[in-house]
Amino acid sequence: MNADLHLNAAAEPLTGARPRWSRADAQAIYDLPFNDLIFQAQTVHRENFDPNRVQLSRLLSIKTGGCPEDCGYCSQSSRHESGLKASKLMEVQRVLAEAKKARDAGATRYCMGAAWRSPKERDMDAVVAMIEGVKDLGMETCMTLGMLDLGQAQRLKEAGLDYYNHNIDTSERYYNEIITTRTFADRLDTLANVRDSGIKVCCGGIVGMGEEKADRVDMLVTLAYLPEHPDSVPINMLIPIEGTPLGDADPIEPIEFVRTIALARIMMPKSHVRLSAGRTAMSDEMQALCFFAGANSIFVGDTLLTAENPGEDKDTALFRRLGIQPMERGAE
């Protein structure tokens, strides 16, 4: 099969020179011989980024548990017996103290997540204060608060929010197998509100939830078809959590995960592809392959919302072995 297939795959432009990927085109890329796929992904990566720089972000749960949604992978759902207790929204000053520590440790972007279906008006003042405070520390700001209407998105933009994370999670076909309390269209509506407000979009998904290979491809095709490619595309590997419907899910085969990273890089060449949840279950060699396939962003710190994450010492040691340096703000 032609190793340069991606150059011919998308004849019809969406905007400017952006290709229009068909599902068949994307599947053909995904199914390339592994060496051809990785070579192609690294070539695209080098055309758009320094291959030896990785963006460091920090993620803090500002309100944990008690979410009314039924996402089958999530320990924070009130519908699951994960043993996680619900907390109140963190105080602003505590959030800013954590952000300062993250900045001093090298993080350039600070992401704050709340286990809500959507934010309530009574919480918006505190959320705005968090955004303003993190901006004053010289960091980029990111929030994930559930669904947003246009007015809420505009208010977050006025506060200085740089990025909003709202994942589509999986393909439209498989979506109802994972979530029933929020539709796939609801997620796309929130992304449109974020985009229309002028906030940059962070959107990706989760693999290893029992989906088929075609679902992983379809998820990336959906992202590539958005009016603008997401600035960040987090690819999460499911962390099975006891008490959730996916607590016994079989893990995705590592090479299939790397293929997903590579396809994301090829289809969305200027996006940051974030190697997100699941890194504690990855060997150093698997992570190295992901970086070679085009991943250039990670979360640092011991936890991701409620899940474990490799410690900073381990990440530093891996970066040293691979010759990778943290991406500096302004080079992103």
71 is in an annotated binding site: yes
203 is in an annotated binding site: no
202 is in an annotated binding site: yes
What is the SS3 string spanning the chain? CCCCHHHHHCCCECCCCCECCCHHHHHHHHCCCHHHHHHHHHHHHHHHCCCCEEEEEEEEEEECCCECCCCCCCCCECCCCCCCCCCCCCCHHHHHHHHHHHHHCCCCEEEEEECCCCCCHHHHHHHHHHHHHHHHCCCEEEEECCCCCHHHHHHHHHHCCCEEECCCECCHHHHHHHCCCCCHHHHHHHHHHHHHHCCEEECCEEECCCCCHHHHHHHHHHHHCCCCCCCEEEEEECCCCCCCCCCCCCCCCHHHHHHHHHHHHHHCCCCEEEECCCHHHCCHHHHHHHHHCCCCEEEECCEECCEECCCHHHHHHHHHHHCCEECCCCCC
Q: Could you list the active site residues?
A: 67, 71, 74, 111, 142, 202, 274
Q: If 0-12 CB within 10 Å is exposed, 13-18 middle and 19+ buried, where does residue 2 land?
A: exposed
d(CA 122, CA 167): 25
User: What is the sign, positive or negative, of the torsion defined by CA atoms of 162, 87, 280, 106?
Assistant: positive
Among 64, 142, 145, which residue's Cα sits nearest to residue 107? 142
274 is in an annotated binding site: yes
β-pair partners for 206: 236
67 is in an annotated binding site: yes
Joined tokens for residue 3: 């190793």
d(CA 218, CA 223): 9
Which residues fall in the annotated binding site?
Answer: 67, 71, 74, 111, 142, 202, 274
Which residues fall in the annotated binding site for [2Fe-2S] cluster?
Answer: 111, 142, 202, 274
